[in-house]
Chain A
Amino acid sequence: MIQSIAHVTVYVLNQDEALEFYRDKLGFEVGSDFTVDGGFRWLTVFAKAQPDLELVLAEPKEGPMFTKDAAEKIRALVADGAFGAGVFETDNCQKTYEELVAKGVEFTHPPTEQFYGIEALGVDNSGNWFSLTERAR
């Protein structure tokens, strides 16, 4: 029986820059950050209160699995905002939104009331959209 989700992939354009964004701006913590035999970087982050669910910040590069063309296509899709990093929950959407804006995080929609709570829509520094949601109580 599947118990939980352990890793989720987020494609990013540059792992160094993505790490700065998720760690220093969004406040995520680094799960793993090491070089794997062969030269690839395994980089994961997690939300502080959820250490068992890690986002894998993966950079599509030409290599064993991606041709140059495929890597470029994925990168273009990421930059175009075709992918999402997911829904990030907060206890206070307005306050967190203001804090993140002050840190330079880009939002496409400010906090607005939805039937499920209050939600703002942001973009990471690769182009992935994400939702910042405060659940309705």
Chain B
Amino acid sequence: MIFIVIKYSQYRKVCLGRDYLTKHYADYFDLDEVANYACMSKYHFCRVFSEVYGESPYHYISKMRIEQAKRLLVTSKLSINDICEAVGYTSVGSFSFLFRKKTGMSPTQYRSKLWALVKDPLTYPVQSVPLCYAHHLFGEKIDKSNIE
């Protein structure tokens, strides 16, 4: 196993870059701009980012976009087109492809599936939360029919 030592100063800089990405995830992704904000070269920024967070800046942005899309699909009535744009994609085709790759379903399927599970509109189904919490915090009954 190889251990890579990262100076605290580098960690603080890459944190700044990540904060920038978090705030601007829906904007056009410009690695030069982010690295500049973090006062690092883009190669150095990418390397340290990956070492600290275990994923590339691009992968982080993709993940943020898809997570926000999931939230909007459940808690809003925005169209798929509008959600695609809101999270930073210019092509519905690309958005749908990436969404399906991440979740195993199309945006429409995801929305239909979750909406079918709730009584209160625009809320998350209890199934979104680990069962132990759903039971202990929200009082959701545990189905023992599958327990032998």
A contacts, CB < 8 Å to B: 6-7, 9, 29, 34-40, 42, 48-49, 51, 56, 58, 63-65, 91-92
Contacts and interface: CB of A to CB of B under 8 A. Distances in A.
Contacts, number: 67
A63 B138 contact: yes
A38 to B, nearest CB: 6
Interface of B: 8, 11, 15, 18, 22, 52-53, 71, 74-75, 117-120, 123-126, 128-130, 133-140
Contacts of A37: 117-120, 123-126
A58 B11 CA distance: 30
21 contacts: A7-B130, A35-B75, A36-B124, A37-B119, A37-B125, A38-B119, A38-B120, A38-B123, A38-B126, A39-B120, A39-B123, A42-B129, A42-B133, A48-B53, A49-B11, A58-B133, A58-B137, A63-B139, A64-B139, A64-B140, A91-B8
B62 to A, nearest CB: 14
B83 to A, nearest CB: 16
Contact of B138 (A6, A34, A36): A36
Contact of B136 (A42, A48, A65): A65
B143 to A, nearest CB: 16
Closest 8 CB pairs of A and B: A64-B139, A37-B118, A91-B8, A35-B123, A40-B138, A37-B123, A65-B139, A34-B124
Consensus secondary structure, chain A interface: loop
Nearest to B141: A64
A92 B138 CA distance: 39
B123 A36 contact: yes
Given A42-B124, A63-B139, A65-B138, A36 B129 contact: yes
Consensus secondary structure, chain B interface: helix
A62 to B, nearest CB: 11
B125 A48 contact: no
Nearest to B60: A51
A49 B55 CA distance: 11
A40 B52 contact: no
A124 B117 CA distance: 36
Contacts of A40: 137-138
A36 B128 contact: yes
Contacts of A64: 138-140
Contacts of B130: 6-7
A92 B137 CA distance: 36
Nearest to A59: B137
